[in-house]
Chain A
Amino acid sequence: MAMLHIVNKSPYETGTLESCLNHAREGDTVLLIEDAVYAAMKGGRAANALSAAKGVKFAALSADLKARGIGEDRIVEGTAVVDYGGFVDLVVANDKTQSWL
């Protein structure tokens, strides 16, 4: 029963990513969209939290990375970059979705 967690706010603005990581289980995927893509930037405090979440997969939406000028070379290793089609595939691949609004 894998779940897709969708986070859309920067971890430097709200606590939704932290809440999400406290609930995500092994096998789940966390998709970072909109301002949440800032969480995937190398060297940020949030990047450590991503690395520490064992067994949880991470993905970031390519259009939102691009809109913020974050090149793929600047995001933490292990974070998949997906387009909107990839977003749809993640929704389909997981049994449930949870938006952390």
Chain B
Amino acid sequence: MKLGIVVNEGPYTHEASDTAYNFAVAALEKGHEIFRIFFYHDGVNNATRLMVPPQDDRHIQQKWSELAEKHNLDLVVCIAAAQRRGILDENEMKRQGKDAENLAPGFRISGLGQLIEAGIQCDRLVIFGD
């Protein structure tokens, strides 16, 4: 089955990022296709490669990036939510005249149309948040 996932909560807040990640892993283990994972609202904070959690804690961004690489997942960050929270890729850095970019590997910045498309294309859309 084709599944879409939406993450609306930042990492290390309550549990939404972890629950969404564990759900994604379980779905892939069962042979389902994950069409897209869309990061919206504070969920865009999952995508900063500059997070430095303590060494004995899970590294949520790295877990997403590794999962994306292993399974060729499409991790999409909402552009409007990302701009508000200082999540920039190289293109946005230049466009906004900033001196740094911080988008982690495996993520891409795009618009809400990607969420709508996931809603249309997926058999199920599962939302995780606060």
Interface residues of A (CB under 8 A from B): 6, 8, 33-35, 63-64, 83-85, 87-89, 91-92, 96-97, 99, 101
Chain A: CB-nearest residue to B9: A101
- A63, A84, A88 interface centre (most CB from chain B within 10 Å): A88
A33 to B127, CA, bound (A): 13
Q: How far is the CB of B54 from chain A (nearest CB, A)?
A: 19
Task: Count chain B residues whose beta carbon lies closer than 8 angstroms to a beta carbon of A.
Answer: 22
Of B25-33, B61-69, B87-95, B108-116, which binds chain A? B25-33
Interface residues of B (CB under 8 A from A): 1, 3, 8, 14-16, 19, 22-23, 25-27, 29-30, 32, 124-130
Chain A: CB-nearest residue to B1: A92
Q: How far is the CB of A34 from chain B (nearest CB, A)?
A: 5
Given contacts A91-B3, A101-B8, contact A34 B14 (CB under 8 A): yes
Q: How far is the CB of B2 from chain A (nearest CB, A)?
A: 11
Could you tell me the dominant secondary structure of chain A's interface residues?
helix
Residue numbers in B under 8 Å from A64 (CB-CB): 15
A87 to B27, CA, bound (A): 9
Q: List 7 A-B contacts (CB under 8 A).
A: A6-B126, A83-B26, A84-B23, A87-B23, A88-B23, A89-B30, A101-B130
A97 to B32, CA, bound (A): 16
- A35, A63, A99 interface centre (most CB from chain B within 10 Å): A99
Q: How far is the CB of A37 from chain B (nearest CB, A)?
A: 11
Could you tell me the dominant secondary structure of chain B's interface residues?
mixed
Given contacts A84-B23, A84-B25, A85-B29, contact A91 B126 (CB under 8 A): yes
Q: B19 contacts A8, CB within 8 Å?
A: yes
Q: A85 contacts B26, CB within 8 Å?
A: yes
Q: Which of B32, B127, B128 contacts A88 (CB 8 A)?
A: B32
Residue numbers in A under 8 Å from B26 (CB-CB): 83-85, 87-88
A96 to B122, CA, bound (A): 11
Given A85-B29, A88-B32, 13 more contacts at CB 8 Å?
A8-B16, A8-B129, A85-B30, A88-B23, A88-B27, A89-B30, A92-B32, A97-B124, A99-B126, A99-B128, A99-B129, A101-B8, A101-B130
